[in-house]
Chain A
Amino acid sequence: MNCRSEVLEVSVEGRQVDEAILALLHTILLHRSTGKFHYKKEGTYSIGTVGTQDIDCDFIDFTFVRVSSEELDRAIRKAVGEFKEALSNSGSDGMGQISLEFYQKKKSRWPFSDECIPWEVWSIKVNVVNLANEQERQICREKVGEKLGEKVINIVEVINRHEYLPKMPTQSEVDNVFDTSLKDVQPYLYKITYQITDSLGTSVSTTVRRLIKDTLAL
């Protein structure tokens, strides 16, 4: 609970799903990534550079900026691809939610595994619409572009607020805050999860886990 949560909603056509989501996720990650840290002996560090890159969408009239890191892009595309597939396989009315969760790890003593404590969650609710003809598609193309523009401004506003961010870690702890696996960029630790409307209720495993925890905490 001790985390901020922001909800964004978009309704797009089927083929626009991945671009729209990518645009939003990349915008958030652009602001939540830093250059690689280079630690020095005295416990100080310097920050490497981050390149940016403009991406034009094919199915939307929209261009967004992303960190120019192929690795990061690949990771995100993979998650979004899975989501899109699940969405099209679900067969229902095409509602789904994909969330980008930033967390930090907390080392804990032996019997417990490391805790991942989220501090910010961005949920994007996606509503897929079906369009009848080419003209509507054209209109949709523009409208979704405008909407995405608004969302990007929203995101920037939220990120600009002076709110809690994990403190900059020392060398030994950098893995608890940042994802250091990429070689050209270093985003905060993040996790992408998605849900399709049918299974919006809590899954069985979480219920069971909660049950055990509750009995213990009695």
Chain B
Amino acid sequence: MAHFDTEYQRLEASYNDSPPGEENLLVHVPEGSKSQWHHIENLDLFFQRIYNLHQKNGFTCMLLGEIFELVQLVFVVAFTVFLANCVDYDILFANKLVNHTDSAKVTLPDAFLPVDVCSARIRDNVFVIFILVISGVFWLHRLVKFIYNICCYWEIRSFYINALKLSMADLPYFTWQEVQARIVEIQKEHQICIHKKELTELDIYHRILRFKNYMVAMINKSLLPIRSRLPFLGDVVFYTRGLKYNFELIFFWGPSSLFENEWSLKTEYKRGGSRLELADRLSSRILWIGIANLLLCPVILIWQILYAFFSYTEVIKREPGSLGARCWSLYGRFYLRHFNELDHELMSRLSKGYKASSKYMNCFMSPLLTVVAKNVVFFAGSILAVLIALTIYDEDVLAVEHVLTSITLLGVCITVCRSFIPDKHLVFCPEQLLKVILAHIHYMPDHWQGNAHRYETRDEFAQLFQYKAVFILEELLSPVITPFILIFCLRRKSLEIIDFFRNFTVEVVGVGDTCSFAQMDVRQHGHPAWMSAGRTEASIYQQAEDGKTELSLMHFAITNPRWQPPRESTTFISQLKEKVQREAACGQQGVLHENHILTSTQSESEPHSLIANLLAGPPPLGSLHLGRDASVSNHAVDVGLMEGTSALRSFSPLSGSQHLRGSFASTRLPRGDGAGLVGGRAMAGSGADARTASSGSSAWEGQLNSMVLSEYASTEMSIHALYIHELHKQQSRGQLSRHTWHRRDSDESSEGAPDDNEGLRNFPRSNTFPCATTPHQEGAMLHNTGQRRYGGTTESVSGGLRSAPRLPRIPMGGWAEEAQAGRHHDPVPEEDELPPHIQKVT
């Protein structure tokens, strides 16, 4: 056998089989247990609790608040029972004499009945026992809930501390947007939601506001029977907390409600097949709940009365005027709420509009009442004066029976009457006030515009902004009326409700079933009269009323700058912003001179009302930029908006925060609006903003910055809301009504305006041009040389400034008259006649 000498040979190294399952196996390192926050079961509740804890300023505040609420409850019941059973009123009113040996003084303890008498009285009174049992059950329920909540929120607290790295002490100084940003951040690491790698702001909002969005949509589509026409009272809106509670019980979480759990609608409601049968079932359920309400009515009623009595009497005693004060009604809060708007956002918006709103309501003083009130004040005042004078002369007058009472009553009477007498030195301009209000509340019916001075408008506004007294009264009546609304009105709507939930529920991956309106999709729910013409594919049934989709989209995009909207929404937003920006840039040229007026008014008015003034109409929007530019030493006259803003940045003491905002979204042009506005305000000497810049690199700076940022955002939103409304108005209605005009007009006429600006200045402000000019891209579409309405002078002056001629926008109807009207007014009107800030053109 031949011997081959090859390189192939036996491996000498010892090859020993390692025992199975030892060293050579792959070794893994477990990664679990790093966080307990991955994969949370009920994200809806989780996010809601995070939000609540944030709104209640941390765990301790919340704990204390809840404990006090429990104590309050015991106190209310115990004190009422005590007052009713254990006080000898005869002694208190001195109808019966106390047989004291040492002194004649009656002390409070004398008026108390002895314990055994007292308890015997309580025991004999079935009604009191009944109340005690009911409130005992109620209190126990609250106690159990409290303990349960504490356990849950303890978990949330540790989530804040361990996962979000926010200590409870710092929590009040963080805005919700910051907390939210951290949640989005930790999703990447912990995966609290397992469907997606990343969580968006919209997801969080959807989960927190799932049911609120449904309610807002239902009110927007007037599905709920809260509006009724009564024989004597006219149009009445009745929407109380009790009613709202019942609606939510029926739709969302009550036994056999439409929702299977927090996040999904029951499948049978998603299919159209058995809608009639489902409607029947719903209506019988509503009937039962209505009957239950009816049965419980006495209990709830007693509770409401007691509660109202103890929470409001103290306030009324302290300041009797507070009943005459107003508050935003519950209906108003839903009518004015955007889709995806959290409570604190809504409340801050409404609070900002409060002052202007109450001013507006005060415009409407009945002259008749004023005359009567003046005389009542005169007579009551004389008597009061005499009584007081007598008292001062000799204190014993007070001891005479009923003198103290009459002094008090007369005082109250005078206070009440005073509120009917208007301040002599005030001038009101309802239209302008309504604009300021609109800038904050963002929604109003179309027919208010131009009718601000009418009583109908006022009455309708009063539905949103009611007297506190009316609010309390409605709450008191609610237990009685609610069952009837449920049984007689809501039941009739059951088929519509079923259809609503079927048609307007979409399932979003990672969120569950949400109201499709809350997607803020202009294509699906846009309204052609609200800027989404051409984009929307919605039928009338699907369109959200009052431009809710569009405004909500804007609002959400502005409050959450990091949110990436879907493509179509992005184009909508960017186009709108572009338009606003261009307008501002154009207006800037046009109202150059107004700057001086503004600066002069600035000095005499407080900064906030300045903003309000500025916001009163789109032309001031332009002038605002101008005011800013001028204060930056006029070098930005024909610079674009962005440049102007950046120039401002370098000048403004606010530069730090400006840059911060810039870094938030530097590509978003209209940031400039907000920045400019607040810049102007800072110029006017707003202390808080200046402090931002001056304070060092403390943690506070970050907080303040973010607060200032949210301020910017709300201002920016105001501008956009006004703009959208303005556009809508011009689009849907050809004619404008002139409205009253006051002070600024005269200011302006007294101001010598530079001649070369004359033409330009007139043009954006003339209200006699009924129709807006279009933004350029639309202008190209609608282009029609026959409609060119501006004189040669305007063109020649403005030609260089505007890239395209301004064209009238074609309205939905009435195009012919409008064109005519436009031509009719073609000669530029005298400027003194023009109310300066009505129609800012688009």
Contacts and interface: CB of A to CB of B under 8 A. Distances in A.
A89 interface: no
A150 B191 CA distance: 31
A74 interface: no
A166 B145 CA distance: 32
A123 to B, nearest CB: 12
Contacts of A215: 141, 145
B31 A167 contact: yes
Nearest to B193: A2
B26 A46 contact: yes
Contact of B194 (A4, A43, A169): A4
Contact of A38 (B21, B33, B40, B254): B21
Contacts of B254: 214
26 contacts: A1-B262, A1-B263, A2-B39, A2-B42, A2-B192, A40-B27, A43-B30, A45-B27, A46-B27, A47-B25, A47-B26, A111-B151, A117-B41, A119-B39, A119-B194, A167-B30, A167-B38, A168-B31, A169-B33, A170-B33, A172-B33, A207-B255, A207-B256, A215-B145, A217-B148, A218-B145
Contact of A46 (B21, B141, B263, B512): B21
Contact of B32 (A1, A109, A164, A173): A173
Contacts of A163: 194
B43 A173 contact: no
A131 to B, nearest CB: 28
A207 B36 CA distance: 29
B253 interface: yes
B34 A1 contact: no
A44 B28 contact: yes
Given A112-B151, A211-B255, A1 B44 contact: yes
Given A2-B193, A111-B151, A170-B32, A117 B264 contact: no
Nearest to B24: A46
A154 B34 CA distance: 33
A44 B38 contact: no
Contacts of A173: 32-33
B261 interface: yes
B230 to A, nearest CB: 33
A4 B193 CA distance: 10
Contacts of B42: 1-2
Contacts of B43: 1-2
A115 B41 contact: yes
Given A1-B262, A167-B38, A48 B21 contact: yes
A43 B32 CA distance: 11
B253 A169 contact: no
A115 B262 CA distance: 18
Interface string B156-194: 000000000000000000000000000000000001111
Given A1-B261, A216-B144, A45 B30 contact: yes
B244 interface: no
B747 interface: no
Among A46, A163, A172: residue with most chain B CB under 10 A: A46
Nearest to B190: A167
Given A1-B264, A170-B33, A47 B28 contact: yes
Interface string B19-60: 001000111111111101011111111000000000000000
Interface in A153-167: 163-164, 166-167
Nearest to B194: A164
A177 interface: yes
A3 interface: yes
Interface string A11-49: 000000000000000000000000000101001111110
Given A1-B44, A3-B194, A46-B21, A169 B39 contact: no
Contact of A104 (B39, B44, B192, B264): B39
Contacts of B668: none
A109 B36 CA distance: 13
Given A1-B264, A217-B45, A166 B39 contact: yes
A207 B150 CA distance: 24
Nearest to B144: A216
A214 B145 CA distance: 10
A191 interface: no
A41 to B, nearest CB: 12
User: 10 nearest interchain CB pairs?
Assistant: A164-B194, A169-B32, A1-B263, A117-B41, A167-B32, A46-B25, A170-B30, A168-B30, A216-B148, A44-B27
Given A170-B32, A202-B260, 4 more contacts: A2-B192, A44-B30, A166-B32, A214-B253
Interface in B444-486: none
Contacts of B29: 43-45
A168 B34 CA distance: 11
B824 interface: no
Interface string A104-124: 101001011001010100000
Contacts of B263: 1
B711 to A, nearest CB: 35
Among B30, B31, B255: residue with most chain A CB under 10 A: B30
Contacts of A147: none
Contact of B151 (A109, A117, A119, A177): A109
B659 interface: no
Contacts of A210: 261
A208 to B, nearest CB: 9
Nearest to A120: B194
Contacts of A111: 151
A200 B461 CA distance: 49
A211 B192 CA distance: 26
B195 interface: yes
B242 to A, nearest CB: 14
Interface string B555-577: 00000000000000000000000
Nearest to B268: A201
Contacts of A207: 255-256
A210 B309 CA distance: 35
A2 B194 contact: yes
Nearest to B267: A200
B153 to A, nearest CB: 12
Contacts of A45: 27-30
A169 B28 CA distance: 11
Nearest to B513: A1
Contacts of B148: 216-217
Nearest to B511: A1
B28 A167 contact: no
Nearest to A168: B30
B39 A164 contact: yes
B169 to A, nearest CB: 24
Interface in B208-264: 253-256, 260-264
Among A3, A111, A119, A216: residue with most chain B CB under 10 A: A216
Nearest to B263: A1
A1 B512 contact: yes
B62 to A, nearest CB: 15
Contacts of A119: 39, 194
B830 to A, nearest CB: 65
Contacts of A211: 255
Contacts of A43: 29-30
A46 B192 CA distance: 28
Contacts of B28: 44-47, 168
A112 B25 CA distance: 41
B195 A4 contact: yes
Contacts of A202: 260
B255 A167 contact: no
A83 B708 CA distance: 62
A26 to B, nearest CB: 24
A172 B33 CA distance: 9
B714 to A, nearest CB: 32
Contacts of B255: 207, 211
Nearest to A115: B41
A103 to B, nearest CB: 10
A186 to B, nearest CB: 13
A46 B44 CA distance: 38
Nearest to B26: A46
Contacts of B256: 207
